[in-house]
Structure 1
Amino acid sequence: MNTRNRFYSLLKYTAFAAVLAFCGMQPASAARTQSSIIIDAHSGKVLASNNADELRYPASLTKLMTLYITFGELESGRLKMTDKLTVSRNAANRSPSKLGLKPGSKITVRDAVMALIVKSANDCASVLAEGIGYSEENFAQTMTKVARELGMKNTTFKNASGLPNRLQKTTARDMAILGAAMYHHYPQYYKLFATKSFTWQGRTMYTHNHLLKTFKGADGMKTGFTNAAGYNIITSAERDGNRVIAVTMGHNTLKQRDRKVASLMSSGLHKLALADNIEKPVLYAKTTAAAEDSASVAASASAEGNDARWGVQVGAFSNYAKARNYAMQIRKGLKAQYLQKAQIDIEAAAKGAAVIYRSKLVGLKKNQADKTCNDLKRKNKSCIVVASNPIHQLAMAEHQ
């Protein structure tokens, strides 16, 4: 099995004609409704929402998933920032926004990534998709698989850029899940979203995310626009140790969008600041696992209940891919039927200058989590019962 096929197995994670920009798409309209959601990035708690599960065209918010998968390839070592990718005719022919890459030319992974983040370059999205998935169609299928695995139940991707396709849909809640996954799973790459400008071949390009300049504490993530989608944004901000992730979609103007997301973040951060004066319940366990590749963990969780908000932490690793592989092995090795529906969750956490990845099976009831951990201990494997992390909490919120 080649490395790309192994990538698909690991993550469980045709170019379309330009006429799709007009076929079957919703026209821009003053009557268009908006969707929004804001969450506490640390707990996954929804602070406010409106039409959060209404299907939307993602536009360039799609590129967040392209980057998420790219960062997974970088983390695994299958891709390096210095690698040079060849530009296909398909990629070069992508409509703006783009760098204007020529067929047969090459671009480094680093430049393609930065062009996606800052310029929202559609040609670079296709270059990365083809470099990782061999074709953009294959890559889009992987994007949808990854979305399902993260708990993005209402999202379907059809290309790597967000260029119009009537079948490419998402929701504000699903985008918040992706934003939380980006922040928690790849903290070493998340900081790139704070980049305000990018210079390539003598041209300096500036970010479309104006909140980086106008909102105190804002440090990413992505904007998007098409006629059918309207103006979309997902962004995050941190103040005084509190972090929020906000999504708003379907706005008629850029200013309207930016005002709305700034209002969401201001109110969300204010709520969290007020709550700091009140003792908070434990929503998920903090651990002090060693950074080396070890299945030894130590932690406690004080939340109570028997709903499917529990999980079992089975190890802590220095590499995301190793953490994920181990969780998959554990799930496969245990025969309980309820475990086959359990989600794999990898939580990144800082330990000094290093990052560790906590490997978990989540989406269990408390009694199921207890039984799973007892079964593992009988097999001389370390584990601990924990409450689900913010990403899983957010994915479950749709069904509460």
Structure 2
Amino acid sequence: MGVERVQTHQESEQDNDEWIAAKEIVRNSAERLRKVIKSLFERDYGENVMVDDFEAKMLTPPGSNYGSVLLAVKVTVRRNKFATPKVVNVVAKMLPSEFFQDVFNSAVTFPKEVAAYEEILPAYQMLQLENGIPKSKVFNHFPRFFGARIPDDLKTKAADDDAVILLENLVAAGYKCGNRWKGLDRAQSEMTVRTLATFHGLGIALRKKKPEVFAKFVKKAVTFSHPWTSIVRAAKNCKNMVMENERLNPFYARIANALDTGVNTINTPPTNQFGTICHTDFSINNMLFRNDSEGNVEAVKFIDFQTYSHLSPVRDLLYFLIASTAENVLICHFDHLVNMYHDRLVRTLEELNCDVGNFGRSHFLAECKEWVGAEALHCCLMVKIILLPEAEAAIEGNGPEIQSVDYFDNLDFEAYRQRLTIMFQSFLERDWI
């Protein structure tokens, strides 16, 4: 077996320093993957599986994904030496540079993500089957998981070059990411909140019906913490923006109080009936959509579970609405999407034979109000990354080139200010802050 061809995301790119470095990362990662690729397919194809060859290329441009190196890999595989070869399109997720291994605490987050695919999703599906949900209707909004390699020394050694997660290549299956500068349209947003509510409802139901299993997942769900200096600076910078904003300045005291509350609660787990497993980075960058033959959205898949945590489900919902919906959707359909999410959450619990007496609308809206400060601060930290203008990226369509966590502190541009203004106005109108 050998690497037939290794290429970058765009063959025609000029050899600037960034692309030269990226090419080297691809070559090294592909060579490391070649050594372990067979073992990764044994989970689904059996121990006699044979991998004849593969072709690897970058899945994303350099700099657009920081928590991992992503390779799109086309693999020719056979169940045994007598079987007909089959071409399988997968994504190999491997460890990032040493700098970002420290930033993302890869020794913890990498095994966490494997557990999401290998343990949490199967537990959710089993819970549904046990409660009479047909197999064709069980939650299946993650990419297919083929296998993973987590070396024993990963937890004691910051880096292990051969750590890898092998997943279905959703792009090859017809899925596409949304446009992060335009945001998701109403149909995409509706499908997303309904699916998110089901995901959260499964976690709540598991906690209620199988508390020992849920407790095991909570232990794995170590909260990903932004550096404390970045949290405090983000709050300060956002307060300054509010002070200078004519529309928000009259409400400065209320907004400042919400942000201060967020500083103290951004990493706080819930203690009431709403506690579940949350994605915590549930933005447009971490979901893909597939359209039908007429161009209507028909399916969504969620990806990137490195930082899932035990939190209130409204945390994911509010962050998604602010960070990922189109501006007209956020302004005109905020309540509609919140209510749609809540309806599906309750329905999911009912389908799993859970008591929903304390999950009514008033309880849910009170939950939104309780955690709005934490998510407002989360948005202050992260929305700027999502909305970074293309013109400011080193490569068209690329994300920001982050070399230190200080990047999160001072990035000022109009789209970011406008989105935060809409966010605070939305929360003020509902008396959440």
Check whether TM > 0.5: no
The structure with more radius of gyration: 2
Task: Name the structure with the higher strand share.
Answer: 1
